[in-house]
Amino acid sequence: MRLGYNIIIGADIASHDMKEEVLALLIEKGYAVANAGTSGSEHGDFTDAAEVVAKGIQKGEYQKGILLCGSGIGAAMAVNKFKGVRGGLAYDLERAVLMAADNNTNVICTGGWLMPDAAYAVKMIEAWLLVKYTGRDIEGMKRAEIIENEW
């Protein structure tokens, strides 16, 4: 288990093939990654993947989640509907690192249509996994909890 994280990855139909490649590459590198298993080459909705990934994190079974859909936008919409889950969206290293440091994200969403290849997606995911949250936005975390419960 690299970096001490249990990780779960899911995709929709559009990014199923890339997800398979990303999963294989991460496992090869020594990461503990489970497959949400909601997609195939002929089926898969981003919401089904988001639900499995989000609930895995809520239960504490996994600390980090990865979601791929066509653009990543739907995945980021759906996964943030779960309490305690903070899903950021990134297509490059800069944004991936910033959302780890600043936004306390525990899920990274990206778009298979917009990634050059699986190797780049893995590089971005690794950068995101390596960078720790600064802990700075204490007020934001409190207010996010209020929004989750009341709005």
Partner 1 sequence: MGKTVKIIIGSDTSGFALKQKVVKALAEDGYEIKDVGCYSADEGYYLDAAEPVCKGVQSGEYNKGILICGTGQGMNISANKFTGIRSALCYDLFTAKMSRADSDANVLCTGGWCVEPDKGVELVKVWLSSDYYDPNNEYGINRMKEFEKEMRA
> Which positions lie near partner 1, rule CB under 8 A?
45-48, 50-51, 70-71, 73-74, 76-78, 80-83, 86-89, 91, 95, 98-99, 102-103, 105, 111, 114, 137, 139-140, 143-144, 147-149, 151
Q: Are 16 and 40 in contact (CB under 8 A)?
A: yes
In the complex, the smallest distance separating the C-beta of residue 38 from partner 1, rounded to whole angstroms, is 11
**Alpha carbon 123 to chain centroid, angstroms:** 14
Distance CA 33, CA 131 (A): 18
Write out the E strands in 25-106: 32-35, 64-69, 87-89
CB of 3 to partner 1, least distance (A): 22
Looking at beta carbons only, is 6 or 47 nearer to partner 1? 47
Q: Give the C-alpha separation, 51 to 36, whole Å.
A: 9
Catalytic annotation present for 69: yes
Q: One of 33, 69, 79, 129 is an active-site residue; which one?
A: 69
For the CB of residue 85, give the shortest distance to partner 1 in the complex, in Å. Answer: 9
Nearer to partner 1, 73 or 130 (CB): 73
Helices (H) and strands (E) in the chain, counts: 6, 5
Which CB atom, from 107 or from 118, has the smaller least distance to partner 1?
107
Phi, psi torsion values for 86, nearest 5 degrees = -125, 105
Query: Cβ of residue 132: shortest distance to partner 1, in angstroms?
Result: 16
Determine contact, residues 115/127, Cβ cutoff 8 Å.
Answer: no
Of 31 and 91, which has the nearer Cβ to partner 1? 91
Extract the tokens encoding 93: 């290293």
| Active-site residue set | 69
